Amino acid sequence: MAGLYNGGPAAIVYGMIVASIGAMAVTASLGELASILPIAGAQYHWTYDLAPFAPRFFSFVQGWITVFAWISTIAVIPFLVGTQVQGVVMLNKEHYMPTQWHGTLMMWAVMIIPLTVNIFTRTLLPAIEILGGVLHILAWPGIIITLVILAPRHSSEFVWGTFVSGLSGWQDPGVVWSIGMLTVISTLNGMCIIQANGPPADLSGYDGVIHMAEEVKNPRRVIPRAMLCGVFINALLAIGFAITITYTMGSFEEALNSPTDYPVIGIYRQVTQSNNAATAMLCFVGLPGFVALFNGLASITRLTWSFARDNGLPFSDFFFKISPHYRIPLRCLWLVSTVVVLLSLINIGSSAAFNAILSLSAIALYFSYLIPIVFLVIKRFRAPHEIHWGPFRLGKWGLPVNLFAILWAVYIIIFLPFPSTLPVTKENMNYAAPVFLGVVLFAVVDWCFRGRFKWDGPVGKLAVE
């Protein structure tokens, strides 16, 4: 929705292309780091190894930021899937009035199956990932063909030359463009949650697959390849979808005023003139996102376990132990799931407060990518001989790609906290920056009172409860 208000078709199409290039640069930079040290802790391990000073402090804060980022990401997925289901119900039942507690129950329902599979039948995860990837790739041409055949087309001038400004209250074209980019970033992050964890990749943040590195054969080669393949494939699909949807979206005003808060639902309905067909198309779009939750949950569990293993969490001795029966970090899985359920309860009382938590996801993830890449560039200049490169290396392109990734991450971090519309109210306020600063403050306070006495850096240890 933000992309329609801020920039419109041109911002969505060009923004998707630019965002894809930025995503590839960040992923390639992380791929170099993953090839050097493929480990579940990922960002905070790299930060500790590369920090030019105070490695214990930086890695501890980085660990908390990454854990919080992924917990909010895992909360986002069932929320989006659940609210899409609500949108489908609204499409088919005109008298249905969605409420906040409905959304919370939807989140719980979406969480149950992935949680059950992660505990009892985790051997099914690869098959589920493959199924999700196949559906993700096969659904794309089906939806594209349907839109191209059935929908009237806008002109190329509309798609490539229409820049919408002023509808959101923002007047500066640069700000309008940048805020419109948020829709694109969310799409790529969501697609990368489906394509970054599995084989070749799932879609839950570019680093998703790295946190599973300790359960992957030959991770120094496989992990970077999985990350790049996943982001590249999804970038191509996302660009193709963005171009197609803007050519075939029908009435711009109707899409803008969609009662479901998901313009794509209204677009599918306009094109097919059938609630059933629009519902089917939405299911094919939403199902890969649901599948992403299976391995996304496994990924954040391994990250949390790794942080506990290195004594980063309170009560780490309790949480880092592996279940001897299920052979998984079961306590960390329950910890993450419990936190997500507790966060979902906030939605019942205040959707604004809940959205504030969800807004943490993207900005915290990008910040967690930024720090180790910055430290890698510093190490390139100060002591390049101390970098023990893995089999995946960008060679002479490494420094330019790293620098571009840094610029891209900084750009995203600056504009992600901007509210999508003006004037700012408590309902449309973007709480990403305050919540993120709260996380950083929490990490620093925890360091002062506990971490500096407990945290020796990522040393690693194994245990069975």
What is the percent of the chain with per-residue pLDDT over 90, rounded to a whole number?
36
Instruction: Name every residue whose Cβ is closer than 8 Å to that of residue 422 and which is 6 or more positions away in sequence.
Output: 168, 169, 170
Given a cut of 80, whether residue 1 has pLDDT beyond it is no
- Asked whether residue 463 is assigned to any structural domain, the reply reads no
Average pLDDT over every residue of 281-300: 84
pLDDT at 269 over 70: yes
User: Taking the CA atoms of the chain, what radius of gyration do you get in angstroms?
Assistant: 22
Total structural domains within the chain? 1
Indicate whether 462 belongs to any domain: no
Angle between helices 55-92 and 173-195 (to 10 degrees): 90
Q: Residue 321 gets which letter from DSSP?
A: P
User: Looking at residues 328-357, what average pLDDT do you find?
Assistant: 86
Residues 373-409: tens digit of each pLDDT = 999 999 999 999 889 999 999 999 999 999 999 999 9
Nearest Cα neighbor of 303 from 342, 333, 326 is 333
Q: What pLDDT does residue 462 have? A: 37
| Calpha distance 357→360 (Å, rounded) | 6
Does residue 58 fall inside a structural domain? Answer: yes
Q: Is residue 392 part of a domain?
A: yes
* pLDDT of amino acid 201: 31
Q: How many helices (H) and strands (E) are present in the chain, helices listed first?
A: 19, 1
Q: What is the reported pLDDT for 186? A: 57
Residue 455 pLDDT greater than 90, yes or no: yes
Q: Give me the chain's average pLDDT, please.
A: 85
| Residue located via tokens 């620093």 | 444
- Rounded Cα distance, 345 and 104, in Å: 7
For residues 115 and 384, the answer to whether their CB atoms sit within 8 Å is no
**Domain-located, residue 459:** no
* Residue pair 336/301 in contact by the 8 Å Cβ criterion: yes
Contact 306/41 with Cβ under 8 angstroms?
Answer: yes
Asked if pLDDT for residue 53 goes beyond 90, the answer is yes
Could you tell me the residue range of the domain that residue 48 belongs to?
2-454
> Which residues, other chains included, contact 6 with Cβ-Cβ below 8 Å and sequence gap of 6+?
164, 165, 167, 168, 170, 176, 177, 179, 180, 182, 420
Residue 123's pLDDT is 83
Q: How many CB atoms lie within 10 A of CB 349?
A: 12
Does 305 fall in a domain? yes
Q: Is residue 241 part of a domain?
A: yes
**pLDDT-derived band at 204, boundaries 50, 70, 90:** very low
What CATH number should be reported for the domain holding residue 397?
1.20.1740.10
Instruction: Give per-residue pLDDT as tens, 54-96.
Output: 999 999 999 999 999 999 888 888 888 888 888 889 888 888 8
